[in-house]
Structure 1
Amino acid sequence: MSEPLLEFDDLVVEYPGRGWRAPPVRAVKGVSFDIRAGETVGLVGESGSGKTTIGRAALGLAPVSGGRILYRGEDISHPSKSRRRELTRDLQVVYQDPYSSLNPTMTIGASLVEPLTVRRTPRKQAAERVRELLDVVGLPADAARRLPREFSGGQRQRVAIARALALDPQLIVCDEPVSALDLSTQARVLELFLDIQERTGVAYLFVSHDLAVVREMSHRVAVLWHGELVEWGDGDQVTSAPEHPYTQRLLLASPVADPLLQEQRRADRLRLRDIQSEQDEQATYA
C-alpha cells in the first residue's frame, strides 16, 4: 500500500466566538483520515458538518488549532508564507461557483495564464500550455479570447478545472464542484474529473453533500457530522451499506422515482433521526 499523499492527523479547527468572552467555535473535532496518490476521497456531510473547513485547512485558508496536516510526510499545518506559495503548485482547488471564482473582466486565456506567469513560465510556453489545458477540458482554442459571461455554468466549471490543472498539481480539493449545475451537466463534469484523473494520476479530496455523487467518484469515503468523523472506509461499502445511522439517513435522503418507495424511505429517515437524537441526549447526560 502506498504512503499517504495528504494526511489529516487528529485535525482540530476553531474559529473565534461571536461576542465578548465567547468561547471559540470548534468546526472540526479531531478528524483523522488520509488520501493516497491518484485516489479520490469523498468527504460527505450536511451543511455545517465541517467538510468545507477541512478542505480549506488543507489549502491554508482555515486555522489549524490542533492536530496536524501532513503532505508527503511534511507537517504543513503552519507553513511559512514562502512555503505556502510553493505548496500551491501541488495543492489546488475547484470551487462550487465557477463564475465567482473567475475574474469577470479577464479573458479565459488571461485567467489560465496567470498562475503560469507567477511561476515565471516563458510566454510562448505558457500560451502552449493554455491551449493544452483547453483541449484537456474539452473547450475550443478560441475560448481563450472570450470572457466568463459568454459561457454556460458547465463550461465555466471546465475553465475552473483547467486553471486548477495549470501547474500539474498532485491533489485538487473539489469543493461541491457540481452542486450548482443541472443533472445532465453534472454528469459530464464528473466524467471529465474521472478522465483527467485517469490521464494524470491527480488525487481528489471531493467535498459534497450528495452521497450519490460521492459514490460515483470516490475510492474511499469519510462521513462528517457536526465536525466529527462518524464513518470512514471503502467507497462502495460506505455509500451502499453504511453502518452509522447518520450515513444511513444521508443515503435515504436521495430521491427515488417510486412514490411508495420514496414514502418508505422518508419514514425510515425520520425513524433514524429520532434514534440518533435519543442517543445524543443519552450521551449528553451520561
Structure 2
Amino acid sequence: MTTLLAVSDLRVTYPGRGFRARPHEVLHGVSLTLGQAETLGVVGESGSGKTTIGRCVLGLVAPSGGTVRFTAHDITRAGRTERRALARDIQVIFQDPYSSLNPSLTIGDILSEPLVVHGVAADAARHRVAELLDQVGLPKDASQRLPREFSGGQRQRVAIARALAPAPRLVVCDEPVSALDLTTQARVLDLLVGIQRRTGVAYLFISHDLAVVRHISHRVSVIQRGDIVETGPAGEVTTNPEHPYTQRLLLAAPVADPAEQRRRRAGTCDRHAQD
C-alpha cells in the first residue's frame, strides 16, 4: 500500500498559563502512517493528544518537533500559499455539524464555496453541488435551504459533502459522529465507508470511542497522554488488545448486550491473572 501520510516523532508543546506556569508537552514523539484509501483510527480519552495530531496535519497547530509528510512532501511548516494549495487534497470534518456550517448561507452556497475558491466555474460548481448532495443522500432541493432546517445527522451529511467538494485525497475526521445518536452514528459511518469505496479517499479518524473506531477503521492507533501505546489491525486491537490502557477503553465502550460486557470483563481479568 502506498503511504499517503507519514507522521514521524511529532512533538507539540503548549506554553504554560499564569505566573511561573510550566510548558505542557502534549505529544511526546508520535509516529504513524496512513495509506491511500485507508482509514486509520486514532483513539484515546479526552486530553490524550489525538485531536492535536489532526490539527498538526491540517496546519492549525505548529509542532515543536518531528515531521508531517503528505505524499512524501514535508508539510510540517507549510506556509499560507502552500496550505491553500493543500486544501484541495486535505480536508476536515469537525465534531459539531452545526457550528462548522455558516448558518446564514444556503447549503448550495456552503458546498460551492470551496469550489469557487479553487477557481471552479459557476456552472461546474452547481453541477458538483448536485452530485455531492446525491452522494451523501440528500435531496436536490436541499441546496436552497439553510442549515437550521436540517436534523443533526443531515447537517453532518452536509459537512461531509463540503469536505468532499474539492475531491480530497485525505479527510481528517475529528470526532465526526460523537454529537449524534447511535442510530444516526451508524448511518453516517456507513456513508463514510461507502464514499471511501467509491472515491478512494483516506480517513484519519479521531475518536474517543473504540466501538466507533472499530466500525470504520482498517487499522487503529491508541494514544495515551501523548504517546502511541498500541497500533495494529482494527479487528485485533479492538477484540484482543495487548496494552492495559486499550483494554480499559474496550471495557468502557458501550455495548447493548450485558453478556458481552461480562465476557469482556472476564477476559480482562484472565489476562491480568496471567500477567
User: Which TM-score band (shorter chain)?
Assistant: over 0.9
Once residues 150 and 21 of structure 1 are traced to their aligned partners in structure 2, the CA distance between those partners, rounded to angstroms, is 49
Query: CA offset at residue 13 of structure 1?
Result: 1.0
Q: What's 1:279 paired with?
A: none
Q: What's 2:52 paired with?
A: 53
Q: What's 2:144 paired with?
A: 145
Once residues 152 and 257 of structure 1 are traced to their aligned partners in structure 2, the CA distance between those partners, rounded to angstroms, is 25
Query: CA offset at residue 21 of structure 1?
Result: 4.0
Please tell me whether the aligned partners of residues 211 and 254 of structure 2 are also in contact (alpha carbons under 8 angstroms): no
Does residue 112 of structure 1 match 2:90?
Answer: no
Query: CA offset at residue 43 of structure 1?
Result: 0.3
Task: Give the number of aligned pairs.
Answer: 272
Query: CA offset at residue 236 of structure 1?
Result: 0.8
Q: What's 2:40 paired with?
A: 41
Q: What's 1:208 paired with?
A: 207
Once residues 88 and 218 of structure 2 are traced to their aligned partners in structure 1, the CA distance between those partners, rounded to angstroms, is 24
Once residues 139 and 261 of structure 1 are traced to their aligned partners in structure 2, the CA distance between those partners, rounded to angstroms, is 36
Q: 1:169 to 1:256 in 2, by over 3 A?
A: closer
TM-score by length of 2: 0.94
Q: What's 1:5 paired with?
A: 4
Once residues 119 and 264 of structure 1 are traced to their aligned partners in structure 2, the CA distance between those partners, rounded to angstroms, is 53
Please tell me whether the aligned partners of residues 253 and 269 of structure 1 are also in contact (alpha carbons under 8 angstroms): no
Query: CA offset at residue 205 of structure 1?
Result: 0.3
Once residues 268 and 99 of structure 2 are traced to their aligned partners in structure 1, the CA distance between those partners, rounded to angstroms, is 35
Query: CA offset at residue 15 of structure 1?
Result: 1.1
Consecutive unaligned residues in structure 2, runs of 5 or more? none
Query: CA offset at residue 173 of structure 1?
Result: 0.4
Q: What's 1:95 paired with?
A: 94
Once residues 200 and 258 of structure 2 are traced to their aligned partners in structure 1, the CA distance between those partners, rounded to angstroms, is 41
Aligned AA (1:250): L
Deviations 1:4-51 (A, max 9, x none): 100110000111111234222111110001000000000000100100
Q: What's 2:193 paired with?
A: 194
Please tell me whether the aligned partners of residues 30 and 67 of structure 1 are also in contact (alpha carbons under 8 angstroms): yes
Q: What's 1:282 paired with?
A: none
What SS does structure 1 have at the residue aligned with 2:91?
strand
Q: What's 1:281 paired with?
A: none
TM-score by length of 1: 0.90
- Residues 125-274 of structure 1 mapped to structure 2, 5 A cutoff: 125-259=124-258, 262=261
Deviations 1:191-218 (A, max 9, x none): 1000000000000000011111111111
Once residues 196 and 263 of structure 2 are traced to their aligned partners in structure 1, the CA distance between those partners, rounded to angstroms, is 38
Please tell me whether the aligned partners of residues 10 and 31 of structure 1 are also in contact (alpha carbons under 8 angstroms): yes
Q: What's 2:75 paired with?
A: 76
Q: What's 2:30 paired with?
A: 31
Q: What's 1:276 paired with?
A: none
Please tell me whether the aligned partners of residues 172 and 204 of structure 1 are also in contact (alpha carbons under 8 angstroms): yes
Once residues 220 and 80 of structure 2 are traced to their aligned partners in structure 1, the CA distance between those partners, rounded to angstroms, is 31
Query: CA offset at residue 258 of structure 1?
Result: 4.9
Consecutive unaligned residues in structure 1, runs of 5 or more? 274-286
Once residues 84 and 153 of structure 2 are traced to their aligned partners in structure 1, the CA distance between those partners, rounded to angstroms, is 29
Aligned AA (2:246): T
Q: 1:126 to 1:256 in 2, by over 3 A?
A: closer
Query: CA offset at residue 256 of structure 1?
Result: 3.6
